[in-house]
Amino acid sequence: MAIEAASTSAAPSVFDVQAERPRPKDVGILAMDMYFPKRCISEEDLEVYDGVAKGKYTIGLGQSYMAFADDREDINSIALTVVSSLMKRFDIDPRSIGRLDVGTETIIDKSKSVKTVLMDLFKECGNHDIEGLDSKNACYGSTAAVQNATNWIESRSWDGRNAIVFAGDIAVYAEGGARPVGGAGACAILIGPNAPLVFEPIHGTYMANTYDFYKPNLTSEYPTVDGPLSVSTYIQAMDAAYSSFRSKVASGTKALNPSAIPSSTESGKKVDEKSVFSLADVDYPVYHSPYGKQVQKGHARLLFMDYLSAPSKPEFANIDAGFLDIPYPKTLGSKEVEKAFMALSKSDYASRVAPSMRCASRCGNMYTASLYGGLASLLSTVDGETLKGKRISMFAFGSGCASTFWTIRVKGDVSEIAKKMDLLKRLESMEVVSCDEYTKGLQLREENHNAAPYQPQGDIKNIWPGAFYLDNIDSMFRRKYIQA
Protein backbone atom coordinates (compact mmCIF):
# COMPACT_ATOMS: atom_id res chain seq x y z
CA MET A 1 0.00 0.00 0.00
CA ALA A 2 3.02 2.25 0.44
CA ILE A 3 3.37 2.12 -3.34
CA GLU A 4 -0.13 3.51 -3.95
CA ALA A 5 0.38 6.24 -1.39
CA ALA A 6 3.63 7.29 -3.03
CA SER A 7 2.20 7.40 -6.52
CA THR A 8 -0.74 9.61 -5.55
CA SER A 9 1.35 12.07 -3.55
CA ALA A 10 2.76 15.26 -5.11
CA ALA A 11 6.36 14.01 -4.95
CA PRO A 12 7.21 11.59 -7.80
CA SER A 13 7.58 7.98 -6.68
CA VAL A 14 10.78 6.03 -7.20
CA PHE A 15 8.97 4.30 -10.09
CA ASP A 16 8.25 7.62 -11.81
CA VAL A 17 11.84 8.77 -11.33
CA GLN A 18 13.18 5.51 -12.80
CA ALA A 19 10.81 5.74 -15.76
CA GLU A 20 11.93 9.29 -16.54
CA ARG A 21 15.68 8.75 -16.14
CA PRO A 22 17.68 9.96 -19.13
CA ARG A 23 18.41 7.11 -21.53
CA PRO A 24 22.01 5.90 -21.81
CA LYS A 25 23.94 6.89 -24.93
CA ASP A 26 26.11 4.91 -27.34
CA VAL A 27 25.17 1.44 -26.09
CA GLY A 28 27.41 -1.20 -27.56
CA ILE A 29 30.47 -3.36 -26.95
CA LEU A 30 32.79 -2.34 -24.13
CA ALA A 31 34.91 -5.50 -24.13
CA MET A 32 34.97 -8.99 -25.60
CA ASP A 33 36.81 -12.26 -25.39
CA MET A 34 36.93 -15.46 -27.42
CA TYR A 35 37.43 -19.07 -26.38
CA PHE A 36 38.21 -22.11 -28.50
CA PRO A 37 39.40 -25.60 -27.61
CA LYS A 38 43.13 -26.29 -27.59
CA ARG A 39 43.06 -28.70 -30.52
CA CYS A 40 42.19 -28.37 -34.19
CA ILE A 41 42.72 -30.40 -37.35
CA SER A 42 43.85 -29.34 -40.80
CA GLU A 43 41.19 -29.59 -43.52
CA GLU A 44 43.92 -30.56 -45.95
CA ASP A 45 44.67 -33.58 -43.73
CA LEU A 46 40.94 -34.30 -43.50
CA GLU A 47 40.66 -34.48 -47.29
CA VAL A 48 43.29 -37.24 -47.28
CA TYR A 49 41.75 -38.94 -44.23
CA ASP A 50 38.26 -38.95 -45.77
CA GLY A 51 39.59 -39.97 -49.19
CA VAL A 52 37.90 -37.09 -51.03
CA ALA A 53 39.35 -35.20 -53.99
CA LYS A 54 42.12 -32.79 -53.09
CA GLY A 55 40.72 -29.28 -52.78
CA LYS A 56 37.15 -30.30 -51.93
CA TYR A 57 37.24 -28.97 -48.36
CA THR A 58 40.01 -26.38 -48.72
CA ILE A 59 39.00 -24.81 -52.04
CA GLY A 60 35.42 -26.01 -52.57
CA LEU A 61 34.28 -25.16 -49.03
CA GLY A 62 37.03 -22.63 -48.28
CA GLN A 63 38.04 -24.36 -45.04
CA SER A 64 41.49 -24.31 -43.41
CA TYR A 65 41.28 -25.75 -39.88
CA MET A 66 38.55 -26.90 -37.53
CA ALA A 67 38.57 -26.89 -33.71
CA PHE A 68 37.05 -29.77 -31.74
CA ALA A 69 36.43 -30.90 -28.19
CA ASP A 70 36.15 -34.37 -26.68
CA ASP A 71 33.97 -35.37 -23.70
CA ARG A 72 35.93 -33.12 -21.28
CA GLU A 73 34.21 -29.99 -22.58
CA ASP A 74 30.55 -29.14 -22.86
CA ILE A 75 28.66 -25.89 -23.34
CA ASN A 76 28.67 -25.15 -19.60
CA SER A 77 32.44 -25.57 -19.21
CA ILE A 78 33.05 -23.39 -22.27
CA ALA A 79 30.67 -20.73 -20.96
CA LEU A 80 32.33 -20.73 -17.53
CA THR A 81 35.75 -20.42 -19.16
CA VAL A 82 35.06 -17.52 -21.50
CA VAL A 83 32.86 -15.48 -19.16
CA SER A 84 35.39 -15.78 -16.31
CA SER A 85 38.22 -14.98 -18.70
CA LEU A 86 36.37 -11.87 -19.98
CA MET A 87 35.96 -10.66 -16.39
CA LYS A 88 39.60 -11.36 -15.60
CA ARG A 89 41.16 -9.85 -18.73
CA PHE A 90 39.07 -6.67 -18.46
CA ASP A 91 39.04 -6.48 -14.66
CA ILE A 92 35.23 -6.52 -14.47
CA ASP A 93 33.70 -6.37 -11.01
CA PRO A 94 31.04 -9.14 -10.94
CA ARG A 95 28.78 -6.82 -8.95
CA SER A 96 28.72 -4.40 -11.92
CA ILE A 97 26.74 -6.90 -14.04
CA GLY A 98 22.93 -6.63 -14.07
CA ARG A 99 22.11 -8.87 -17.00
CA LEU A 100 23.58 -11.99 -18.56
CA ASP A 101 22.14 -13.41 -21.78
CA VAL A 102 23.15 -16.66 -23.44
CA GLY A 103 22.89 -17.76 -27.05
CA THR A 104 23.61 -21.39 -27.86
CA GLU A 105 22.21 -24.38 -29.71
CA THR A 106 24.41 -26.89 -27.88
CA ILE A 107 21.61 -28.07 -25.64
CA ILE A 108 22.39 -30.43 -22.75
CA ASP A 109 19.27 -29.78 -20.70
CA LYS A 110 15.72 -29.13 -21.82
CA SER A 111 14.93 -27.03 -18.76
CA LYS A 112 17.96 -25.76 -16.88
CA SER A 113 19.65 -22.89 -18.69
CA VAL A 114 23.37 -22.38 -19.24
CA LYS A 115 22.83 -18.98 -17.67
CA THR A 116 22.06 -20.56 -14.30
CA VAL A 117 25.38 -22.43 -14.40
CA LEU A 118 27.16 -19.13 -15.07
CA MET A 119 25.64 -17.75 -11.86
CA ASP A 120 28.38 -19.72 -10.05
CA LEU A 121 30.78 -17.00 -11.20
CA PHE A 122 28.76 -14.38 -9.31
CA LYS A 123 28.11 -16.41 -6.13
CA GLU A 124 31.17 -15.32 -4.20
CA CYS A 125 30.40 -11.60 -4.49
CA GLY A 126 26.73 -12.26 -3.65
CA ASN A 127 25.32 -10.85 -6.90
CA HIS A 128 22.17 -12.86 -7.67
CA ASP A 129 20.27 -9.91 -9.15
CA ILE A 130 21.13 -10.65 -12.78
CA GLU A 131 18.38 -10.86 -15.41
CA GLY A 132 18.50 -12.75 -18.71
CA LEU A 133 18.39 -16.41 -19.78
CA ASP A 134 19.14 -18.55 -22.85
CA SER A 135 18.01 -17.85 -26.43
CA LYS A 136 17.92 -20.65 -28.98
CA ASN A 137 17.66 -20.81 -32.75
CA ALA A 138 20.63 -22.41 -34.50
CA CYS A 139 23.43 -19.86 -35.03
CA TYR A 140 21.15 -16.86 -34.37
CA GLY A 141 20.75 -17.24 -30.56
CA SER A 142 23.77 -14.97 -29.98
CA THR A 143 22.18 -12.11 -31.86
CA ALA A 144 18.90 -12.55 -29.98
CA ALA A 145 20.97 -12.45 -26.77
CA VAL A 146 22.79 -9.28 -27.87
CA GLN A 147 19.46 -7.66 -28.72
CA ASN A 148 18.01 -8.66 -25.33
CA ALA A 149 20.98 -7.24 -23.43
CA THR A 150 20.99 -4.03 -25.49
CA ASN A 151 17.25 -3.56 -25.16
CA TRP A 152 17.49 -3.96 -21.38
CA ILE A 153 20.10 -1.23 -21.16
CA GLU A 154 18.01 1.03 -23.39
CA SER A 155 14.81 0.27 -21.47
CA ARG A 156 13.15 1.94 -18.51
CA SER A 157 14.09 -1.03 -16.30
CA TRP A 158 17.83 -0.51 -16.69
CA ASP A 159 19.46 -0.12 -13.28
CA GLY A 160 22.76 1.38 -14.46
CA ARG A 161 24.79 -1.83 -14.61
CA ASN A 162 26.37 -3.48 -17.66
CA ALA A 163 25.33 -6.71 -19.38
CA ILE A 164 27.30 -9.75 -20.52
CA VAL A 165 26.40 -11.95 -23.47
CA PHE A 166 27.81 -15.44 -23.74
CA ALA A 167 27.47 -17.27 -27.05
CA GLY A 168 29.14 -20.46 -28.13
CA ASP A 169 28.74 -23.92 -29.55
CA ILE A 170 30.35 -27.24 -30.23
CA ALA A 171 29.48 -27.79 -33.91
CA VAL A 172 29.58 -31.47 -34.75
CA TYR A 173 28.10 -33.36 -37.70
CA ALA A 174 27.57 -37.06 -38.33
CA GLU A 175 30.06 -38.67 -40.71
CA GLY A 176 29.42 -37.47 -44.26
CA GLY A 177 29.44 -34.33 -46.39
CA ALA A 178 28.81 -31.90 -43.54
CA ARG A 179 31.53 -33.14 -41.16
CA PRO A 180 34.27 -30.85 -42.58
CA VAL A 181 32.19 -27.78 -41.73
CA GLY A 182 32.03 -28.42 -37.96
CA GLY A 183 34.05 -26.52 -35.38
CA ALA A 184 33.89 -25.13 -31.86
CA GLY A 185 34.28 -21.81 -30.11
CA ALA A 186 32.65 -19.18 -27.96
CA CYS A 187 32.60 -15.50 -27.13
CA ALA A 188 31.75 -13.32 -24.18
CA ILE A 189 30.78 -9.70 -24.76
CA LEU A 190 30.46 -6.86 -22.26
CA ILE A 191 27.66 -4.50 -23.29
CA GLY A 192 27.05 -1.06 -21.85
CA PRO A 193 26.75 2.68 -22.56
CA ASN A 194 29.48 4.99 -23.93
CA ALA A 195 30.99 2.08 -25.81
CA PRO A 196 33.71 2.31 -28.46
CA LEU A 197 31.65 -0.04 -30.67
CA VAL A 198 28.15 1.40 -30.86
CA PHE A 199 25.15 -0.61 -32.07
CA GLU A 200 23.29 1.45 -34.67
CA PRO A 201 19.50 1.37 -34.34
CA ILE A 202 18.26 0.08 -37.71
CA HIS A 203 17.79 -3.68 -38.10
CA GLY A 204 16.61 -5.57 -41.18
CA THR A 205 15.25 -8.94 -40.08
CA TYR A 206 13.93 -11.97 -41.94
CA MET A 207 12.44 -14.96 -40.13
CA ALA A 208 10.52 -17.89 -41.60
CA ASN A 209 9.63 -21.52 -40.93
CA THR A 210 12.18 -23.68 -42.77
CA TYR A 211 13.45 -27.22 -42.28
CA ASP A 212 17.02 -26.70 -43.51
CA PHE A 213 19.03 -27.55 -40.36
CA TYR A 214 17.48 -28.57 -37.04
CA LYS A 215 18.04 -30.89 -34.10
CA PRO A 216 14.88 -32.92 -33.49
CA ASN A 217 16.71 -36.03 -32.27
CA LEU A 218 17.47 -35.37 -28.63
CA THR A 219 19.44 -38.61 -28.27
CA SER A 220 22.12 -37.23 -30.60
CA GLU A 221 24.24 -34.08 -30.78
CA TYR A 222 24.10 -34.17 -34.56
CA PRO A 223 21.71 -32.00 -36.54
CA THR A 224 19.36 -33.14 -39.28
CA VAL A 225 20.55 -31.20 -42.33
CA ASP A 226 19.26 -30.54 -45.79
CA GLY A 227 22.57 -29.09 -47.00
CA PRO A 228 21.48 -27.50 -50.30
CA LEU A 229 18.36 -26.05 -48.64
CA SER A 230 20.47 -24.59 -45.80
CA VAL A 231 22.70 -22.87 -48.33
CA SER A 232 19.81 -21.37 -50.30
CA THR A 233 18.04 -20.39 -47.07
CA TYR A 234 21.17 -18.49 -45.98
CA ILE A 235 21.18 -16.55 -49.26
CA GLN A 236 17.44 -15.94 -49.33
CA ALA A 237 17.45 -14.74 -45.73
CA MET A 238 20.41 -12.49 -46.47
CA ASP A 239 18.63 -10.92 -49.46
CA ALA A 240 15.49 -10.29 -47.45
CA ALA A 241 17.19 -8.98 -44.28
CA TYR A 242 19.42 -6.68 -46.35
CA SER A 243 16.44 -5.43 -48.38
CA SER A 244 14.47 -4.76 -45.25
CA PHE A 245 17.43 -2.89 -43.74
CA ARG A 246 17.93 -0.80 -46.89
CA SER A 247 14.26 -0.08 -47.14
CA LYS A 248 14.20 1.23 -43.56
CA VAL A 249 17.28 3.36 -44.20
CA ALA A 250 15.75 4.76 -47.40
CA SER A 251 12.36 5.55 -45.92
CA GLY A 252 13.63 6.99 -42.64
CA THR A 253 10.79 7.48 -40.18
CA LYS A 254 8.33 6.03 -42.68
CA ALA A 255 9.96 2.66 -41.96
CA LEU A 256 7.41 2.25 -39.18
CA ASN A 257 4.81 1.92 -41.90
CA PRO A 258 4.57 -1.84 -42.63
CA SER A 259 4.02 -1.22 -46.33
CA ALA A 260 7.51 0.33 -46.53
CA ILE A 261 9.09 -3.05 -45.82
CA PRO A 262 9.47 -5.30 -48.87
CA SER A 263 8.41 -8.93 -48.92
CA SER A 264 11.18 -11.43 -49.64
CA THR A 265 9.96 -11.93 -53.19
CA GLU A 266 10.51 -8.22 -53.79
CA SER A 267 14.02 -8.44 -52.39
CA GLY A 268 15.69 -7.33 -55.59
CA LYS A 269 13.18 -4.70 -56.65
CA LYS A 270 14.49 -1.52 -58.22
CA VAL A 271 14.57 1.49 -55.92
CA ASP A 272 15.87 5.05 -56.14
CA GLU A 273 19.60 4.67 -56.79
CA LYS A 274 20.63 7.75 -54.83
CA SER A 275 18.79 6.94 -51.64
CA VAL A 276 19.78 3.31 -51.38
CA PHE A 277 22.19 2.06 -48.77
CA SER A 278 24.81 -0.17 -50.37
CA LEU A 279 27.94 -2.08 -49.42
CA ALA A 280 29.82 1.12 -50.24
CA ASP A 281 28.31 2.62 -47.07
CA VAL A 282 29.99 -0.09 -45.01
CA ASP A 283 33.72 -0.22 -44.32
CA TYR A 284 33.92 -3.81 -43.07
CA PRO A 285 31.11 -6.30 -43.70
CA VAL A 286 31.08 -9.21 -41.21
CA TYR A 287 29.05 -12.34 -41.90
CA HIS A 288 27.97 -15.44 -40.06
CA SER A 289 30.43 -18.04 -41.34
CA PRO A 290 29.22 -21.66 -41.68
CA TYR A 291 32.36 -22.21 -43.81
CA GLY A 292 34.68 -19.89 -45.69
CA LYS A 293 33.17 -20.25 -49.15
CA GLN A 294 29.68 -19.37 -47.96
CA VAL A 295 30.92 -16.00 -46.72
CA GLN A 296 32.56 -15.27 -50.08
CA LYS A 297 29.32 -16.21 -51.80
CA GLY A 298 27.27 -14.15 -49.35
CA HIS A 299 29.40 -11.07 -49.88
CA ALA A 300 29.09 -11.53 -53.66
CA ARG A 301 25.35 -11.90 -53.25
CA LEU A 302 25.00 -8.56 -51.47
CA LEU A 303 26.91 -6.95 -54.31
CA PHE A 304 24.36 -8.54 -56.66
CA MET A 305 21.58 -6.99 -54.56
CA ASP A 306 23.32 -3.62 -54.88
CA TYR A 307 23.49 -4.20 -58.63
CA LEU A 308 19.76 -4.94 -58.89
CA SER A 309 18.89 -1.65 -57.26
CA ALA A 310 21.57 0.50 -58.95
CA PRO A 311 22.78 -1.27 -62.13
CA SER A 312 24.14 1.87 -63.75
CA LYS A 313 26.86 2.40 -61.14
CA PRO A 314 30.31 2.34 -62.80
CA GLU A 315 31.48 -0.72 -60.85
CA PHE A 316 28.80 -2.78 -62.64
CA ALA A 317 29.83 -1.66 -66.14
CA ASN A 318 30.99 -5.15 -67.13
CA ILE A 319 28.03 -7.06 -65.68
CA ASP A 320 25.67 -8.77 -68.14
CA ALA A 321 22.51 -6.60 -68.21
CA GLY A 322 20.52 -9.78 -68.85
CA PHE A 323 20.78 -10.56 -65.12
CA LEU A 324 18.23 -7.81 -64.53
CA ASP A 325 15.57 -9.84 -66.36
CA ILE A 326 16.01 -13.06 -64.34
CA PRO A 327 12.97 -13.47 -62.05
CA TYR A 328 14.13 -13.07 -58.44
CA PRO A 329 13.54 -16.71 -57.31
CA LYS A 330 15.63 -17.99 -60.23
CA THR A 331 18.58 -15.80 -59.22
CA LEU A 332 18.86 -17.84 -56.01
CA GLY A 333 20.11 -20.91 -57.85
CA SER A 334 21.85 -19.14 -60.74
CA LYS A 335 25.48 -20.24 -61.03
CA GLU A 336 26.04 -17.52 -63.67
CA VAL A 337 24.99 -14.77 -61.27
CA GLU A 338 27.07 -16.31 -58.48
CA LYS A 339 30.15 -16.63 -60.69
CA ALA A 340 29.92 -13.09 -62.08
CA PHE A 341 29.59 -11.47 -58.66
CA MET A 342 32.16 -13.75 -57.00
CA ALA A 343 34.63 -12.53 -59.63
CA LEU A 344 33.58 -8.88 -59.25
CA SER A 345 33.85 -8.96 -55.44
CA LYS A 346 37.09 -10.96 -55.18
CA SER A 347 39.51 -8.15 -54.34
CA ASP A 348 36.91 -6.34 -52.23
CA TYR A 349 36.43 -9.54 -50.24
CA ALA A 350 40.17 -9.80 -49.70
CA SER A 351 40.51 -6.26 -48.38
CA ARG A 352 37.27 -5.73 -46.43
CA VAL A 353 35.92 -9.16 -45.44
CA ALA A 354 38.96 -11.45 -45.07
CA PRO A 355 40.19 -9.57 -41.93
CA SER A 356 37.09 -10.88 -40.12
CA MET A 357 37.75 -14.51 -41.03
CA ARG A 358 40.69 -15.34 -38.76
CA CYS A 359 38.66 -17.19 -36.09
CA ALA A 360 36.54 -19.00 -38.68
CA SER A 361 39.55 -20.21 -40.61
CA ARG A 362 41.17 -21.67 -37.48
CA CYS A 363 38.10 -22.87 -35.53
CA GLY A 364 35.55 -23.65 -38.28
CA ASN A 365 31.89 -22.99 -37.60
CA MET A 366 31.31 -21.83 -34.03
CA TYR A 367 27.56 -21.54 -34.72
CA THR A 368 26.32 -18.76 -32.37
CA ALA A 369 29.87 -17.44 -31.83
CA SER A 370 30.75 -17.37 -35.51
CA LEU A 371 29.56 -13.84 -36.31
CA TYR A 372 31.08 -12.37 -33.15
CA GLY A 373 34.29 -14.30 -33.77
CA GLY A 374 34.26 -12.42 -37.07
CA LEU A 375 34.00 -9.12 -35.26
CA ALA A 376 36.76 -10.14 -32.81
CA SER A 377 38.97 -11.12 -35.77
CA LEU A 378 38.41 -7.76 -37.43
CA LEU A 379 39.38 -5.88 -34.24
CA SER A 380 42.50 -8.04 -33.98
CA THR A 381 43.57 -7.65 -37.61
CA VAL A 382 42.92 -3.98 -38.41
CA ASP A 383 44.54 -1.47 -36.05
CA GLY A 384 42.39 0.70 -33.80
CA GLU A 385 43.37 3.97 -35.46
CA THR A 386 42.26 2.71 -38.88
CA LEU A 387 38.99 1.38 -37.45
CA LYS A 388 38.05 4.63 -35.73
CA GLY A 389 34.95 6.21 -37.29
CA LYS A 390 34.30 3.19 -39.51
CA ARG A 391 31.02 1.32 -39.99
CA ILE A 392 30.86 -2.47 -39.65
CA SER A 393 27.87 -4.41 -40.97
CA MET A 394 26.78 -7.62 -39.29
CA PHE A 395 24.79 -10.41 -40.93
CA ALA A 396 23.42 -12.94 -38.45
CA PHE A 397 21.86 -16.16 -39.71
CA GLY A 398 20.45 -19.20 -37.97
CA SER A 399 18.77 -22.01 -39.86
CA GLY A 400 15.17 -22.68 -39.21
CA CYS A 401 15.34 -19.66 -39.87
CA ALA A 402 16.21 -16.30 -38.31
CA SER A 403 18.43 -13.56 -39.71
CA THR A 404 19.26 -9.90 -39.18
CA PHE A 405 21.40 -7.35 -40.99
CA TRP A 406 22.49 -4.36 -38.91
CA THR A 407 25.47 -2.08 -38.34
CA ILE A 408 27.99 -1.09 -35.69
CA ARG A 409 29.80 2.27 -35.64
CA VAL A 410 33.36 2.40 -34.27
CA LYS A 411 33.12 5.54 -32.16
CA GLY A 412 36.07 5.04 -29.84
CA ASP A 413 39.40 3.32 -29.52
CA VAL A 414 39.15 -0.46 -29.78
CA SER A 415 42.87 -1.15 -29.56
CA GLU A 416 42.64 -1.97 -25.85
CA ILE A 417 40.01 -4.65 -26.55
CA ALA A 418 42.24 -6.19 -29.23
CA LYS A 419 45.30 -6.06 -27.01
CA LYS A 420 43.58 -7.72 -24.06
CA MET A 421 41.94 -10.40 -26.23
CA ASP A 422 45.31 -11.33 -27.74
CA LEU A 423 43.34 -13.35 -30.29
CA LEU A 424 45.76 -14.00 -33.15
CA LYS A 425 48.52 -15.30 -30.91
CA ARG A 426 46.10 -17.59 -29.13
CA LEU A 427 44.68 -18.93 -32.41
CA GLU A 428 48.23 -19.56 -33.58
CA SER A 429 49.07 -21.51 -30.43
CA MET A 430 46.29 -24.07 -30.93
CA GLU A 431 47.64 -27.58 -31.49
CA VAL A 432 47.07 -29.10 -34.92
CA VAL A 433 46.49 -32.80 -34.27
CA SER A 434 45.79 -35.87 -36.39
CA CYS A 435 42.39 -36.65 -37.89
CA ASP A 436 42.51 -39.93 -36.03
CA GLU A 437 42.65 -38.05 -32.71
CA TYR A 438 39.76 -35.85 -33.90
CA THR A 439 37.61 -38.85 -34.85
CA LYS A 440 38.31 -40.50 -31.47
CA GLY A 441 37.29 -37.27 -29.70
CA LEU A 442 34.02 -37.16 -31.61
CA GLN A 443 33.42 -40.84 -30.95
CA LEU A 444 33.79 -40.27 -27.20
CA ARG A 445 31.14 -37.55 -27.38
CA GLU A 446 28.84 -39.62 -29.55
CA GLU A 447 28.99 -42.79 -27.44
CA ASN A 448 28.47 -40.99 -24.17
CA HIS A 449 25.94 -38.34 -25.09
CA ASN A 450 23.36 -38.09 -22.27
CA ALA A 451 25.15 -40.75 -20.16
CA ALA A 452 24.75 -40.61 -16.37
CA PRO A 453 26.50 -41.33 -14.14
CA TYR A 454 29.52 -40.63 -16.30
CA GLN A 455 33.23 -40.16 -15.85
CA PRO A 456 34.73 -38.31 -18.86
CA GLN A 457 37.73 -40.04 -20.40
CA GLY A 458 39.40 -37.22 -22.35
CA ASP A 459 42.93 -36.29 -21.30
CA ILE A 460 43.18 -33.11 -19.19
CA LYS A 461 46.36 -32.17 -21.07
CA ASN A 462 44.09 -31.11 -23.94
CA ILE A 463 42.50 -28.37 -21.84
CA TRP A 464 44.02 -24.87 -21.83
CA PRO A 465 45.54 -23.92 -18.46
CA GLY A 466 42.89 -22.15 -16.40
CA ALA A 467 39.98 -23.38 -18.52
CA PHE A 468 37.02 -25.16 -16.93
CA TYR A 469 36.39 -28.80 -17.82
CA LEU A 470 33.82 -31.46 -16.99
CA ASP A 471 34.98 -33.49 -14.00
CA ASN A 472 32.01 -35.84 -13.79
CA ILE A 473 28.25 -36.32 -14.14
CA ASP A 474 26.50 -38.00 -11.22
CA SER A 475 23.52 -40.37 -11.35
CA MET A 476 21.16 -37.36 -11.10
CA PHE A 477 22.77 -35.81 -14.25
CA ARG A 478 24.40 -33.11 -12.12
CA ARG A 479 27.58 -31.85 -13.76
CA LYS A 480 30.69 -30.86 -11.83
CA TYR A 481 33.32 -28.59 -13.35
CA ILE A 482 36.85 -27.81 -12.26
CA GLN A 483 39.56 -25.52 -13.60
CA ALA A 484 42.72 -26.87 -15.24
User: Does residue 359 carry a catalytic annotation?
Assistant: no
Determine the 3-state secondary structure of 398 from DSSP.
strand
Work out how close the CB of 65 gets to ligand ACO at its nearest, in angstroms, rounded to a whole number. 16
Q: Which residue type sits at 444?
A: L
Residue selected from 13, 50, 59, 112 as contacting ligand ACO according to rule CB under 6 A: 59
- Which is the catalytic residue, given 43, 47, 73, 105? 105
User: By CB under 6 A, is residue 376 in contact with ligand ACO?
Assistant: no
Binding mask 61-90 for ligand ACO (x = CB under 6 A): x-----------------------------
Number of continuous H segments (helices) and E segments (strands) in the chain: 17, 16
Interface stretch with ligand ACO, choices 48-56, 151-159, 298-306, 442-450 (CB under 6 A): 48-56
- For residue 206, the surrounding DSSP H or E stretch is strand 197-207
Contact 169, 368 (CB under 8 A): yes
Residue selected from 6, 50, 60, 107 as contacting ligand ACO according to rule CB under 6 A: 60
Q: What are phi and psi of 392, to 5 degrees?
A: -115, 130
For ligand ACO, which residue has the nearest CB?
Answer: 60
Task: Tell me whether residue 128 or residue 335 sits nearer to ligand ACO (CB atom).
Answer: 335
User: Does residue 437 carry a catalytic annotation?
Assistant: no
Residue selected from 184, 225, 337, 376 as contacting ligand ACO according to rule CB under 6 A: 225
User: By CB under 6 A, is residue 234 in contact with ligand ACO?
Assistant: yes
- Which residues have a Cβ under 8 Å from the Cβ of 117 and sit 6 or more positions away? 76, 79, 80, 479
Interface stretch with ligand ACO, choices 6-14, 73-81, 235-243, 289-297 (CB under 6 A): 289-297
The b-or-e profile of 132-149 (16+ CB within 10 A means b, else e) is bebbbbbbbbbbbbbbbb
Contact 456, 475 (CB under 8 A): no
Work out how close the CB of 459 gets to ligand ACO at its nearest, in angstroms, rounded to a whole number. 29
- For residue 80, the surrounding DSSP H or E stretch is helix 75-89
User: Does residue 139 carry a catalytic annotation?
Assistant: yes
Residue 299, CB-side half-sphere exposure with 13 Å CA sphere: 29
Residue selected from 35, 36, 213, 341 as contacting ligand ACO according to rule CB under 6 A: 213
Closest by Cα among 87, 112, 99 to 35: 87
Work out how close the CB of 234 gets to ligand ACO at its nearest, in angstroms, rounded to a whole number. 4
Beta bridge partners, 432, equal 40
Work out how close the CB of 395 gets to ligand ACO at its nearest, in angstroms, rounded to a whole number. 12
Work out how close the CB of 297 gets to ligand ACO at its nearest, in angstroms, rounded to a whole number. 7
Beta bridge partners, 395, equal 287, 405
Work out how close the CB of 370 gets to ligand ACO at its nearest, in angstroms, rounded to a whole number. 7
Handedness of CA 457, 458, 463, 467 (dihedral sign): negative
Q: Cα 52 to chain center, whole Å?
A: 30
Task: Tell me whether residue 27 or residue 231 sits nearer to ligand ACO (CB atom).
Answer: 231
Q: What are phi and psi of 410, to 5 degrees?
A: -85, 100
- Which is the catalytic residue, given 47, 288, 299, 401? 288
Binding mask 173-192 for ligand ACO (x = CB under 6 A): ----xx--x-----------
- DSSP code at position 94: G
User: By CB under 6 A, is residue 399 in contact with ligand ACO?
Assistant: yes
User: By CB under 6 A, is residue 231 in contact with ligand ACO?
Assistant: yes
Task: Tell me whether residue 65 or residue 152 sits nearer to ligand ACO (CB atom).
Answer: 65
Work out how close the CB of 190 gets to ligand ACO at its nearest, in angstroms, rounded to a whole number. 26
Binding mask 131-150 for ligand ACO (x = CB under 6 A): --------x-----------
Handedness of CA 52, 58, 61, 64 (dihedral sign): positive
Work out how close the CB of 399 gets to ligand ACO at its nearest, in angstroms, rounded to a whole number. 5
- Which is the catalytic residue, given 47, 73, 139, 203? 139
SS (H, E, C) 232-274: HHHHHHHHHHHHHHHHHHHHHHHHHCHHHCCCHHHCCCCCCHH
User: By CB under 6 A, is residue 227 in contact with ligand ACO?
Assistant: yes
Report, as residue numbers or ranges, the catalytic residues.
105, 139, 288
By CB under 6 A, name the binding residues for ligand ACO. 53-56, 59-61, 139, 177-178, 181, 213, 225, 227-228, 230-231, 234, 290-291, 294, 399
